[in-house]
């Protein structure tokens, strides 16, 4: 996750409280989505940004995960994400992001 985004996540979390945060990740690759999920839960694995060594433990989802899909209007979902569901390796992305969430999310 780029350093500027890490800074924004950190600032918003400090302002609104970690328990009130949900991070939605748009990464198209499982690896990059997993890294972003790790960054906002366990801390920046590359130790380069403001979240290095800062385990925020935030709730984190990718829009192709069932938890997200079921909580939004089905038509809007189909309109905005339906095509990408066909394109992305959904199973791989879900596995990566869920693994990070299960291990590091505190809320």
Q: Nearest Cα to 61, choosing from 11, 29, 97?
A: 97
Binding residues for another protein restricted to 29-68, rule: CB under 8 A: 29, 31-32, 35
Binding residues for another protein restricted to 75-104, rule: CB under 8 A: 79-84, 86-87
Q: How far is CA 52 from CA 10, 63, 80, 103, 104, in A?
A: 11, 25, 33, 17, 15
Residue 105 beta carbon to another protein: minimum distance, rounded to whole angstroms = 23
Site residues (vs another protein, CB under 8 A): 28-29, 31-32, 35, 79-84, 86-87
């Amino acid at each position: 996750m780029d350093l500027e985004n890490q800074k924004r996540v950190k600032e918003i979390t400090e302002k609104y409280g970690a328990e009130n945060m949900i991070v939605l990740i748009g990464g198209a690759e499982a690896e990059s989505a997993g890294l972003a999920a790790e960054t906002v839960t366990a801390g920046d694995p590359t130790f380069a940004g403001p979240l290095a060594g800062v385990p925020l433990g935030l709730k984190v989802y990718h829009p192709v995960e069932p938890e997200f899909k079921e909580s939004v209007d089905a038509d809007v979902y189909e309109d905005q994400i339906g095509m990408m569901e066909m394109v992305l390796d959904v199973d791989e992305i879900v596995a990566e992001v869920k693994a990070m969430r299960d291990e590091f999310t505190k809320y």
